[in-house]
Amino acid sequence: MTIARKSRLCAVSLILAGLSSQAQANQTAAPPSVVRMTTSDRAMVDDLEHRTFLWFWEAADPQTGLIPDRYPSPQTFDSVASIGFGLTAYGIGAERHYITREQAAERTLTTLRYLSRLPENDSKDQSSGFHGFFYHFLDPKTGLRLNPDIELSSIDTALLMQGILFSQSFYDRNTPQETEIRNLADSLYKRVDWQWMKRPDNRLSMGWGPEHQFISNYWEGYSEGMMAYILGLGSPEQDYALTPASWKAWLSTNDKRWGEYYGQTFLNFAPLFGHQYSHAWIDFRGIQDDWVRGKSVDYFENSRRAAYAQRAYAMANPGGWHDYSATVWGLTASDGPGEITQKVDGKDKRFMSYVARGTGRDYVQDDGTIAPTAAVGSIAFAPEIVIPAIREMKSRYGKQVYGKYGFVDAFNPSFQDGKTFWSDREYVGIDQGPILLMIENWRDGFVWNVMKHNPYIRTGLQRAGFSGGWLETKNAPSE
């Protein structure tokens, strides 16, 4: 499990080698159509959002605020990325009246107090982090680094910090409880030393460990790493903040992955999580940096095209997998049936366990495993193709893929056990998160609008060269 998750991080830099840099003419996804939602469709989305929220509320330890990587599961280690999504989930819960604002604030304050008291040092087993960064997985009993295989993770810390900054901006009332939340959030964010995690070439390393120091892989090119750079650029701590040179270094390979794929011309990244994570908190509609401005799109439109390309890939179904169609699609990092070869329609097919599945110009990794978060987490980009997918997956596969906490992490109609197809029994925090946050953003932009009020997010975007849209207003609109 740990090795598979670490390989997901490493894949970001490894897949860049050897690609053609030939850019092609712009091509757009189908224009947004009016989403014709029936009463049952609205009830369906409402139910999915509520169930997904309950995963975060019930999975979290109410005494510490720590949230497991997966739940319910025999694997009980906690994930700082899950915590970042969870902190945001509590605000959504208050907004949707699943819980009261007081309950949300209490859980948030418990979490931030616990995180702020965890030890930071360079020891191998008596620390939860170092230089403001947190280890990817923590021991649920102690809050310390889970084991020597776990890296101090720049991207998982970034996911955590997004949730922390959401908390800072959402809890804006003049009460002792909400004031403490804002102060703790500010302190946790400011102590992240982004410069320390930076390589000599201005790119951010993916991680560090006391045994081997900085790992060889780094964040380069369009991916979820986008948020780490924006957070680093936004830091008010001069000695810790990244400079615009880091953003330019991150952009430097974009031309290699810009091009046509399955009817769409866009900046490719094969798994859909790379198109969702940063967008879950930041509204990229109508704002552009110099690179994307040169392509006459914005990063939101880019991710919209990525969703359409994945759907077109499923419709073409070059691998001959069962059930792929216009309403059954979605590849991203997820669980799978396991490392095993099985005959499918008379042909030997290789299946995988947890891996960064995806399809794009950069690479294709597909074993017939559908991850509902890939489609549902794209609902803010392209609701007109996502809502039919939610409807189809739920109605066709029923309780085998849809349970107490919404959609299970993944399922594979091509992998048969003699009675039925493979479906997961677990839910994973980093896959539940995009479902919840992006449904809420699709509804009314709630998470985006909260984050527009955060000065560090605004500064990070501006220092990266973004302009236009909501960034041109002195204060973000209170939509």
Is residue 197, in this structure, part of any structural domain at all? yes
Structure tokens that stand for 264 in this block = 């769409």
Is residue 274, in this structure, part of any structural domain at all? yes
Which range of residues forms the domain containing residue 199? 2-18+26-472
Q: What's residue 140's pLDDT?
A: 96
pLDDT > 90? residue 173: yes
- Burial profile 58-95: b = 16 or more Cβ within 10 angstroms, e = fewer: ebbbeebbbbbbbbeeeeebbbbbbbbbbbbbbbbbbb
Q: What's residue 34's pLDDT?
A: 62
Structural domain tally of the chain? 1
**Percentage of residues in the chain having pLDDT higher than 70:** 92
Sign of the CA dihedral running 426, 432, 435, 440 = positive
Sign of the CA dihedral running 177, 164, 335, 69 = negative
Q: Taking residues 82-93, what's their average pLDDT?
A: 98
What is the DSSP code string of 362-419?
Answer: S-EE-SS-B-HHHHHTTTTT-HHHHHHHHHHHHHHHGGGTEETTEE-S-EEEEEE-SS
Structure-model confidence comparison of residues 300 and 478, the more confident one? 300
Is residue 306, in this structure, part of any structural domain at all? yes
Is residue 128, in this structure, part of any structural domain at all? yes
Q: What's residue 28's pLDDT?
A: 63
What is the DSSP code string of 79-91?
Answer: EHHHHHHHHHHHH
Q: What's residue 14's pLDDT?
A: 34
Q: What's residue 32's pLDDT?
A: 58
- Each residue's pLDDT tens digit, 285-342: 999 999 999 999 999 999 999 999 999 999 999 999 999 999 999 999 999 999 999 9
60-to-64, 76, 79, 435 alpha-carbon distances in Å: 8, 11, 11, 18
Q: Which residue has the tokens 């690479």?
A: 363
36-45, 252-261, 468-477: least confident range: 468-477
pLDDT > 50? residue 8: no
**Percentage of residues in the chain having pLDDT higher than 90:** 88
pLDDT > 70? residue 96: yes
- Each residue's pLDDT tens digit, 246-289: 999 999 989 999 999 999 999 999 999 999 999 999 999 999 99
d(CA 5, CA 230): 23
With cut-offs at 50, 70 and 90, classify the pLDDT of residue 152.
Answer: very high
Q: What's residue 372's pLDDT?
A: 98
Q: Taking residues 191-201, what's their average pLDDT?
A: 96
4-8, 28-32, 164-168: least confident range: 4-8
CATH number for position 10? 1.50.10.140
d(CA 414, CA 321): 6
With cut-offs at 50, 70 and 90, classify the pLDDT of residue 388.
Answer: very high
pLDDT > 50? residue 469: yes
Beta bridge partners of 258: 267
Structure-model confidence comparison of residues 187 and 36, the more confident one? 187
- If you average pLDDT over every residue of the chain, what do you get? 92
1-5, 44-48, 105-109, 189-193: least confident range: 1-5
Is residue 477, in this structure, part of any structural domain at all? no
Q: What's residue 4's pLDDT?
A: 38
Q: Taking residues 185-208, what's their average pLDDT?
A: 96
Q: What's residue 37's pLDDT?
A: 81
Closest CA relative to residue 403, chosen from 426, 369, 419, 382? 426
Helix 429-444 and helix 39-59: axis angle, to 10°? 140
Is residue 479, in this structure, part of any structural domain at all? no
Cβ atoms within 10 A of the Cβ of 43, count?
11
Is residue 266, in this structure, part of any structural domain at all? yes
Which helix or strand (DSSP H or E) is residue 423 part of? strand 421-423
- Each residue's pLDDT tens digit, 353-385: 999 999 999 999 999 999 999 999 999 999 999
pLDDT > 60? residue 51: yes
Q: What's residue 3's pLDDT?
A: 35
Task: Name 203's Cβ contacts closer than 8 Å, sequence gap at least 6.
Answer: 218, 219, 220, 246, 249, 250
Is residue 402, in this structure, part of any structural domain at all? yes
